[in-house]
Structure 1
Amino acid sequence: MPLSAGRNTFEVRDGRTLILPVKANVKIFEGSIVVIDSTGNAVPGKKATGLLSAGRAEEYVDNSGGTDGAKTIKVRRGVFKWSNDSTAPVTGKDILKNCYIVDDETVTITETGSSIAGKVIGLENGEVLVEIL
């Protein structure tokens, strides 16, 4: 049933900051692309299909020797500047198109064998501005 009066809808989170479980035997460096794998755990960005782009790592986490979820990582969503792939670079004609993950700091315009990093917002000094939501 639709509202018939105003409602105080509480914001319970800011929606831009996530705390995610880290996969076993993984190191994630601050400032890197973080993705969620098929088990629901955070791993560094890499070229693979089926990954979900989570955002930028806000801290360094070393879960070497730990089990899945033994440690968590703070991840921020927003617009970030990433390295542009030299083989298949993002160009000006790619604004508002999806770009794809090469590794934990690089994006490409080539979809094959990769997962979406986010939307291209612009280019700046050879790097790609990517919106990860």
Structure 2
Amino acid sequence: MTQLAADRNTPERSGGTREVPAAAGALLFAGAMAAVNAAGNAVPVTEALGLKGAGRVENRADNSDGAAGDVRVKIRAGIFRYANSAGADELTQADIGSDVYGVDDQTVAKTSNTNTRSVVGKVFDVDDQGVWVKFS
């Protein structure tokens, strides 16, 4: 491309939401934590490696019977509260700013469980109801 020689109408996005193709066979519930797999498709967060936390699913997306990309998932970045793990994996105020690991589509943990979980976000806060997770 060459340098502009006139004004340009440059498209803009707020950065709050994205639409991602759902993985084949994926069912994502509204409010669940979503991740993007190695192929770039949306999946519910599970205890698995290679996932990248994407945010909160805005609307249920059912691609149970479809091929990858047949359904698109609206995912919102931001800070959302999810369930805290227990025992040695329970997050506390001392973990603010630390990575959180996905256990399932509504639970986060302090550790990778010996390299079986992916980092899905950062601890923003912890309260009696759960962990506030920041998704970029």
Same fold (TM over 0.5): yes
Q: Distance in 1 between matches of 2:131 and 2:118?
A: 16
Count of residues in Structure 1 that have an aligned counterpart in Structure 2:
127
- Mind listing any 5+ residue stretches in structure 2 that lack a counterpart? 1-6
The alignment's C-alpha RMSD in Å is 1.6
The secondary structure found in structure 2 opposite 1:110 is coil
Q: 1:120 and 2:123 equivalent?
A: yes
Per-residue deviation, residues 38-76 of structure 1 (Å, max 9, x unmatched): 111000001111111110000001111111000001000
The amino acid of 2:97's aligned partner reads L
The secondary structure found in structure 1 opposite 2:80 is strand
Q: Distance in 1 between matches of 2:44 and 2:102?
A: 10
Q: How far off its partner does 1:35 sit? A: 0.4
Q: How far off its partner does 1:126 sit? A: 3.6
Q: 1:85 and 2:88 equivalent?
A: no
Identity of aligned residues (%): 35
Q: Which ranges of 4 or more aligned residues in structure 1 deviate by more than 3 Å?
A: 7-11
- Mind listing any 5+ residue stretches in structure 1 that lack a counterpart? 1-6
Alignment of 1:1-133 (within 5 A): 10=10, 12-87=12-87, 88-111=89-112, 112-133=115-136
Q: How far off its partner does 1:125 sit? A: 1.8
Q: Evaluate the alpha carbon distance shift between residue 89 and residue 8 of structure 1 in structure 2; reply closer, same or farther with a 3 A threshold.
A: farther
TM norm structure 1 = 0.89
The secondary structure found in structure 2 opposite 1:18 is strand
TM norm structure 2 = 0.87
The secondary structure found in structure 2 opposite 1:93 is helix
Q: How far off its partner does 1:10 sit? A: 4.8
The amino acid of 1:17's aligned partner reads T
Q: Distance in 2 between matches of 1:101 and 1:53?
A: 8
Q: Distance in 2 between matches of 1:11 and 1:126?
A: 39
